[in-house]
Structure 1
Amino acid sequence: MNIKDTLLGRRAVLAGVAAAVVVGVSACSTAGTASSTGGSQKTITVATSNDAPFSFTEGGGDTLKGIDGEMINAIAEAKGWKVEVFVTDFNTLISALQAKKADVIVDAMYITDERKKQINFTDPWYTEGEGLLVPADSDIKTRDDLSGKVVGAQTGTAFADFIKTLGAKDTKFFDSQAALVAAVANKQVDAAITDSAVLAYSFKQNPNPKVKLVSPYTPHFPGTIGAGVRKDDTQLLDDLNSGLADLKKSPKYLEILKKYGLDESNEK
């Protein structure tokens, strides 16, 4: 997943909904509801764009990982449900749900008024926004400190325009997140604005002692994440909300956030 997908697709006010659904990994291909029962066990089909660190599989498997992925797994385990996975492009997730190719969207989708016209959202799962990346020895603490500094962002993202509004002495743009991080580490720029969850997860995999994410930090682009269901699927909505409430009462909720680089500030 790149940052362009993150900001311009997932976290835009409304991703465009294509008519065709691109099918990836799915155990459900029939018309009608994707839910089924095998004996007494209910099966729910979860739609994802296979998007780390939010909701993804590895090696074409049918087991979800990631922040959202592990949360739906925990809810399903508590409810006694079986989870099957349906992979499609992010901009076709809503149309896939409406076509009953899946029962629930679990893919770090921002809850917005525009999206709520098409689907129902669960109670908030967590919050997520951009992060402020600086050299490890930097004393920059807020966006206000960027005035007169050299600030970087990745080309093609919402951040590329945003950093031009921060009073920077100069702005620099990079074609990849790796190049952006390297520029901060090498002090080609004084700071960079990028997606916090993606970067935090990458640092969990490959720590970089030359840089740090400013914390605490209040994002300019805050987003509240929820799972999406069809408008008429009220029972599933209630079940997901009750399962989420139970999960939030348990230590596992924060454990999942921290596993993927988030923390208490992302709790909702």
Structure 2
Amino acid sequence: MTALRKFFRTAATAGVVALATFGMTGAATADELASIKEKGVMRIAMSGGYPPFNFVNEQNEVVGFDPAIGAEIGKRMGVEIEIITTAWDGIIGGLLAGKYDAIVGSMSITDERKKVVDFVGPYYRMSRGIFVKEGSAITGLDALNGARIGVTLGETHEQWAREQAGWDIRTYKGLTELLLELDNGRIDAIVTDDIPVLVAIKKNGNAITQLETTGLAGAADEAGIAIRQGNPELAAAMQAALDAMQADGTYLAIAEQWVGGDIR
């Protein structure tokens, strides 16, 4: 286990979506690798509001770990990458509707999602974290009964939080909004992936502390790249590119640049 992983307690990420609406109708009828290569462009989607994994910088560019991973995969496949930002709670629906070719946005691989999409990867691993302001009277999970809990709409953390008895759930668009609401005291705690918050604490000095969640909220999870079903050639090409960049050190360089260390 790397020093970063010990500090971060492993990584975290992304979203429960209403999948039943789409059923299996979004499955591809022919493998899309050839058409992507013919166009020379692969469109990848993400929320754009999940630093340091994907976010909009001061130059209005979408940057971070996810765009860098997507760009490197595209490079090794011989295509350019077009980044599309969209609301997280509808991101799988957009994939099934053909608005983009893949989701490279820190999406947790779940059995529910695998019913309607295929996954390449995993390309990093994560954990759930519960955070409160420093000095909060909330020092353990038992004190969250009746508390205002912030979550990102559509994430797996929202579904998990709603299963907890007595929590007052408030939904938001993304991590930036969650941290602002917590800092301003409009919510008492947030439930989200731990690495982005720990990076924010280390980088910006946010006065936030993580609750101990051993045995309840800290189960390991994995992030994958979602594509439409019925695309084995596309999946194989993307997986080969991902494997190669992990083998030759490119992946580690990207992770160190954006996250601070290895998160595989």
- TM class by shorter chain equals 0.5 to 0.7
Measured at CA, do residues 88 and 146 of structure 1 come closer, stay the same or move farther in structure 2, by a change above 3 Å? closer
- What are the residue-to-residue correspondences of 1:92-171 with 2, within 5 Å? 92-131=90-129, 146=140, 154-155=149-150
Q: Which residue of 1 aligns with 2:179?
A: 177
2:75 corresponds to 1:77: yes
CA distance in 1, matches of 2:205, 2:196: 13
What displacement does 1:233 show?
A: 1.9
Larger Rg: 1
Residue matched to 1:51: 49
Q: 1:193 to 1:109 in 2, by over 3 A?
A: closer
Query: 1:37 maps to what in 2?
Result: 38
**Alignment CA distance shift 1:148-1:106 (3 Å):** closer
2:222 counterpart residue number: 224
In terms of fraction of residues, the more strand-rich structure is 2
State the Cα distance separating 1:50 from its structure 2 match.
2.0
The amino acid across from 1:97 in the alignment is L
Amino acid at match of 2:125: T
**Quick check: 1:11 aligned with 2:15?**
yes
| Equivalent residue for 1:68, pick from 60, 66, 69 | 66
User: What's the secondary structure of 1:122's corresponding residue?
Assistant: strand
Residue 106 of structure 1 and its aligned partner are, at CA, apart by 1.0
Q: Distance in 1 between matches of 2:170 and 2:89?
A: 25
SS at match of 1:125: strand
Q: Structure 2 unaligned runs (5+)?
A: 1-11, 23-33, 152-157, 172-177
In structure 1, stretches of 5+ residues that fail to align are 1-6, 20-32, 137-144, 166-170, 184-188
Quote the offset at 1:178 in angstroms: 4.0
Counterparts of 1:161 and 1:174, CA distance in 2? 10
Please point out which of 235, 254, 257 is paired with 1:256. Answer: 254
Give CA deviations for 1:93-127 in whole Å, capped at 9, x if unaligned: 22222222211111111111111111110120111
Q: Which residue of 2 aligns with 1:203?
A: 201
Separation in 2, partners of 1:100, 1:258: 33
Deviation at 1:134, TM superposition (A): 8.1
CA contact (8 A) 2:101 2:228 kept: yes
Q: How many residues align?
A: 224
For 2:8, the equivalent position in structure 1 comes to none
How far apart are 1:18 and its partner, in Å? Answer: 6.6
Q: Which amino acid aligns with 2:83?
A: V
* 1:30 match: none
The TM-score, its normalising length taken from structure 1, stands at: 0.62
1:89 aligned partner, one-letter code: A
Which residue matches 2:31? none
User: How far does residue 83 in structure 1 lie from its aligned partner after superposition?
Assistant: 0.5
The alpha-carbon deviation at position 197 of structure 1 amounts to 2.7
Rounded to whole Å, the distance in 2 between the matches of 1:256 and 1:198 is: 15
Residue number in structure 2 paired with 1:87? 85
C-alpha distance in 1 between matches for 2:229 and 2:192:
34
CA gap of 1:182–1:64, structure 2 versus 1, over 3 A, is: closer
Distance change in 2, residues 1:135/1:87 (3 Å): closer
Deviation at 1:47, TM superposition (A): 1.8
Q: CA deviation at 1:81?
A: 1.5
**Residue 57 (structure 1) shift:** 4.2
Distance apart, 1:58 and its partner CA: 4.1
